[in-house]
Amino acid sequence: MRKPSMLVLAALLAVSGGVAAAEDKAAHPHWSYQGHGGPEHWSELDQANTACSISKEQSPINIDEKQVKKAPLAKLDFQYAAGTAEVINNGHTVQVNLPANSSFTAGGSVANLLQFHFHTPSEEKINGVSYPMVAHFVHKTAEGKLSVVAVLFKQGKPNQALASVFKGLPAEGKTVKLDSFDPAAVLPSERAYFKFMGSLTTPPCSDGVQWQVLKQPVEVSAGQLAAFRKLYKMNARPVQPLNGRTVELSE
């Protein structure tokens, strides 16, 4: 019996490699917002995601204003600077990466702004109701702790601060570079906020994240919403049990 040629061996290896890759993909399905990779299955997809099901301080949450505790919380001091930016479609959302020259301070704790990204509808609910969209501004302290500021969006006038972002939303896996972008312009004028401890809202759902949800929403147009929803019709994790956590509102 003749030995298989090198070309045949290469073909067999390619096929077996393809099967192995397919099996590995089946064994470790990619997380998503619906179906087998949806939020109810995140903890099953990877051992690193166990917090998604066992943690008692998961995000997002429903903020019931009747149960909120008013408190003398520290004012949020945003030190955001304009500069270049990269708009990336990472397969789960559109994310705006920013240079390391912006930060915010709350009660003496300084956290550097890394990026912000969008969810539709808003992951956070206020009195059981979602907003059309939310932006999560993700910060990290020098100690490595994460702090997220959520900006809620209601439908209305076009958002001029985000015009350059929504004008050229990239396809999945693509990046658009902006020569100048001012993250401070996205923030509402009033800075009252809800504060609570929570987690990442995507796998691995790590907890220990400080959350600040700004109470005043900003506007975004129907056209801007439609542009985002062409890419992501829905990319919001359902609200999670409060499990006795206290939600505070700045006075």
Q: E-assigned strands of the chain?
A: 62-63, 69-71, 76-79, 83-89, 94-97, 103-106, 109-119, 125-126, 129-130, 133-141, 146-155, 175-181, 193-199, 207-214, 218-220, 248-250
Q: Which residue has the tokens 């890419």?
A: 231
Q: Which of 28, 41, 92, 117 is catalytic?
A: 92
* 28 noted as active-site residue: no
**DSSP-assigned letters across all residues of 28-96:** SPPP-SSGGGSGGGHHHH-GGGTHHHH-SS-S--EE-TTTPEEE-PPPEEEE---EEEEEEE-SSSEEE
Beta partners for residue 126, in sequence order? 63, 129
Tell me whether residue 202 is exposed, middle or buried, using C-beta atoms within 10 angstroms of its C-beta: 0 to 12, 13 to 18, 19 or more: buried
Residue 228 and residue 169 in contact, taking contact as beta carbons nearer than 8 Å: yes
Residue 69 and residue 246 in contact, taking contact as beta carbons nearer than 8 Å: yes
Q: Which residue has the tokens 């943690």?
A: 55
Question: Which of 218, 83, 96 lies closest to 169, judged by CA?
Answer: 96
Report, as residue numbers or ranges, the catalytic residues: 92
